[in-house]
Amino acid sequence: MSEIRNIIFDFGGVLYNIRYQNIADSFARYGLKDFDQLYSKAHQIDEFDLYEEGLMSSPDFCKFIRSLSHTNLTDEQIAECWNAILIDFPTENDELLKKVRNHYRIFLFSNTNQLNYDAFNEQMNQKFGYSVPEKHMERCYYSQILHIRKPKPEGFQHILKENGLLPEETLFIDDSPQHIAVAKQLGLQTHHLTHKETVCDLFDAEGFYKAEQQMGRTLFLDRDGVINKRIVGGYVTRPEDFHILPGVPDALRLLRPYFDHIILITNQQGVSKGLFTNEQLQEVHSFMQSELREKSIALDAIYVCTHLASEHCSCRKPEIGMALQAKKDFPDIDMARSIMVGDSASDMQFAINAGIKPISVGEDKDCKKLSSYHYQDLLDFANHITECI
């Protein structure tokens, strides 16, 4: 994880409190029902995109709303309903930005529109005597002025280029997973702010990003059933039989910013059974790494136990020999801050024995009972990572 030098903040839902449902509730009073089917945090129709990109004027936007409602709503009534989304800019967020700017170059990238822009700036000027982002941030990028809205990558690329920012040194904080996903693809570090968090939770009393201080966090992964499709009652003996599970590459991209190391830990007693050789196993793992690198990701290390279960060796899960070897090779690993994702009870017991947080995926009931959290698969876990760390 590179040192963070720059932070790009989202606005609504991160720094400024908003509530989408207020818009639908307000328009419903004028007879326009189910407005949330047209405009919400997760989805909006094309006309709203045009307005947020400054490609539709406010008068034309009001005409469009009237065409939807089939009423003679005034521009003022439409603005009142539309701006009902805006709640407040908390005083603590103003104080936070004063501290954060002392340590990082900070920027704003917001999907907004002219009616909201005028309203929230008026609110902030009444409360603080200034527009908080404009006062504290180096640059503010609003979609209707930039003519690009998230999650289009061109917006991020423009901000990085115009300000000479390296993506790996830049943290993007947003509350929409589709925006986070694109930022990750461009190489930015990210934090998906969930409904359980506030932006102030992410920084210490001096304004430093907390996660940057938490080095040594490692993600340990089982292989069969987590990374690739498990062959029930058999073994993956050649590259042709190795099939990466759907969503795994996306999951690893999402998880990478949260961990200093991503390490594979796998039992492969098929070698000692004579079903395949160490050389064939290496071919499978070389193929796996090649497939992942084609998608711009890779595992940092792979540890394998090839002993038979009957040998009761110290490296076969649930024993912790492979974890101890990883710690020897990567001395900064902190087991107490690390996570193991597996689909079997032996994976979970391995994690418990090593002092690692156990996370289960898949359908094994015994595995689920031993885990701290359970998810459908690795991508499901990645999408909820902030619940676990």
Of 132, 137, 111, which Cα lies nearest the Cα of 120?
132
Residue type, 56: M
Rounded to whole angstroms, the Cα distance separating 87 from 343 reads: 44
94 catalytically annotated: no
Whole-prediction pTM: 0.59
Note the pLDDT of residue 42: 66
Residues 361-377 have a mean pLDDT of: 96
Is the pLDDT reported for residue 2 higher than 80? no
Tens of pLDDT along 272-281? 999 999 999 9
Q: Active-site residue among 174, 224, 250, 343?
A: 224
Of 80, 81, 89, which Cα lies nearest the Cα of 110?
89
User: Tokens representing 215?
Assistant: 């080095």
224 catalytically annotated: yes
Domains of the chain as residue ranges with CATH: 6-16+91-212 (3.40.50.1000), 18-85 (1.10.150.240), 214-387 (3.40.50.1000)
Is the pLDDT reported for residue 389 higher than 90? no
Tens of pLDDT along 80-94? 999 999 999 999 999
Is the pLDDT reported for residue 177 higher than 70? yes
Q: Is 341 in contact with 226 (CB distance < 8 Å)?
A: yes
Is the pLDDT reported for residue 8 higher than 80? yes
Residues 179-199 have a mean pLDDT of: 90
Tens of pLDDT along 329-360? 998 898 988 999 999 999 999 999 999 999 99
Task: Show the 3-state SS of 59-108.
Answer: HHHHHHHHHHHCCCCCHHHHHHHHHHHEEECCHHHHHHHHHHCCCCEEEE
User: Collapsing DSSP states into helix, strand and coil, what is residue 22?
Assistant: helix
User: Tokens representing 376?
Assistant: 């459908």
User: Collapsing DSSP states into helix, strand and coil, what is residue 23?
Assistant: helix
Query: How would residue 387 be classed by pLDDT, with cut points 50, 70 and 90?
Result: confident
Tens of pLDDT along 251-262? 998 998 888 899
Is the pLDDT reported for residue 296 higher than 90? no
User: Tokens representing 16?
Assistant: 């400024």
Q: Is 321 in contact with 315 (CB distance < 8 Å)?
A: yes
**Mean pLDDT for all residues in the chain:** 93
What is the number of alpha carbons within 13 Å of residue 11 lying toward its C-beta? 29
Residue type, 213: Q
Query: How would residue 143 be classed by pLDDT, with cut points 50, 70 and 90?
Result: very high
Q: Active-site residue among 10, 222, 260, 364?
A: 222
